[in-house]
Amino acid sequence: MDCNELVELVTDYLDGALDDETRTRFDLHLRACDGCENYLQQFRETVSTLGNVRDDQLDPAFRDRLLAAFRHWR
Amino acid sequence: MTGILKDESELLAALRDGDEGAFAQIVDLHAPAMLRVARGYVRTHEIAEEVVQETWIALLKGISRFEGRSSLRTWLFAVMINIAKQRGVKERRTADAEVAALTGGTVDPARFRPADAEIWPGHWKEHREPAAFPLTPEGSVLADELIAVARRELDKLPERQRVVVSLRDMLGFDSSEVCELLGIGVVNQRVLLHRGRAAVRQALENYLADAS
């Protein structure tokens, strides 16, 4: 497995979706290659950073409309 | 309003009793993410708000029958995506078409040795291999900057990638939930997820290179 192949398999790797043989080759490559080890670390950090992205709070006027719909229903 | 976040079954019970505070809590918890996903289906922010509002009304109408077999969040997103698709006036490609249009790798090919290189073809070129991202303690200035960079890049992704990355990584839905919600196969879901993540990774790498 070359580095340019490994980088395309990282999401499958993290999802546990690689077949046994490919996973073994992935792990073997990783052990010998600092660049790919760092790539995987970057990818994990990316996923974890995305997990900390928060949406803005609702626009107050929209939130009021939803609460009004609730009062109407009740 | 109690101000204390109750668990879901308590909130639903309070909702059935007409407790507006409980409704406000559930809305604040889920509606911002619903808007984000709805926006991937319809043409304007206003239509996305209508879709989200219709979803909440559907919940209220069905609340006495909501049995909690699925989590409330999964139910809300499933109903919301159905409503959004009916309103989906936006010219958009299907997820499958978006996947089919993807070509080439997710990392700049110039960073790898050419296929005909005498040694180590396809491996990182010297000085082009990735360096580990710095550890960023939660709440640190750099951590907040990276979150902002990630969010900007997320908002720039093609729609299907943005929806999949938002559901999986931002909101923590698992792979099978996302496939079911979006009606796509697991392979295409992973292709979209990988593309989107790779674009965000590149943006973070660029940002860190500029910052150092």
pLDDT at A72 over 60: yes
Give contacts of A11 with chain B, Cβ < 8 Å: 190, 193-194, 197
Q: Which residue has the tokens 């050419």?
A: B114
Chain A positions touching B129 (Cβ under 8 A) are 3, 34-35, 38
Cβ separation of A42 and B133 shorter than 8 Å? yes
C-beta separation of B192 from B185 below 8 A: no
Tell me which DSSP letter residue B123 carries. Answer: S
Chain A residues with beta carbon closer than 8 angstroms to that of B193: 11
pLDDT at B122: 95
C-beta atoms of A63 and B170 within 8 A: no
Per-residue confidence in pLDDT tens, chain B, 212 aa: 444 556 888 888 888 898 999 999 999 999 999 999 998 888 889 999 999 999 999 999 988 777 777 789 999 999 999 999 888 755 556 777 778 888 889 999 999 999 999 999 999 999 999 999 998 888 899 999 999 999 999 999 998 999 999 999 999 999 999 999 999 999 999 999 999 999 999 999 999 998 77
Interface residue of B63, B119, B123, B204 to substitute, partner A, most A CBs within 10 Å:
B123
Q: Where are the alpha helices (DSSP H) in B124-185?
A: 141-156, 159-165, 175-182
- Residue B68 falls in which region: left (phi positive, over 0), alpha (psi -120 to 50) or beta: left
Q: Which domains does chain A have, with CATH numbers?
A: 3-73 (1.10.10)
By CB atoms closer than 10 A (0-12, 13-18, 19+), residue B196 is: buried
Between B210 and A45, the more confident residue is A45
pLDDT of residue B102: 84
Cβ <8 Å between B201 and A35: no
CA B169 to chain centroid, in Å, comes to 6
**Which pLDDT value is given to residue B98?**
76
Interface predicted TM-score (ipTM)? 0.94
Look at residue A60 in the predicted model and tell me its pLDDT. Answer: 96
pLDDT at A24: 98
Q: Output the six-digit token pair for B2.
A: 């109690």
Give the predicted TM-score (pTM) of the model: 0.91
* Nearest chain B residue (CA) to A64: B24
Helix/strand number for chain B, H first, E second: 9, 0
Q: What is the pLDDT of residue B93?
A: 62
Supply the pLDDT for residue B64.
77
Return the structure tokens found at A23: 């996973």
CA distance B137 to B105: 31
Beta carbons of B109 and A8 less than 8 angstroms apart: no
Q: Is A58 on the interface with B (CB under 8 A)?
A: yes
Q: Which domains does chain B have, with CATH numbers?
A: 8-86 (1.10.1740.10), 95-211 (1.10.10.10)
Confidence of residue A12 (pLDDT cuts 50, 70, 90): very high
When CB atoms are compared, the residue of A7, A34, A69 closest to B106 is: A7
pLDDT score for B71: 85
Test mutation, B25, B27, B126, B164, chain A, max A CBs within 10 A = B27
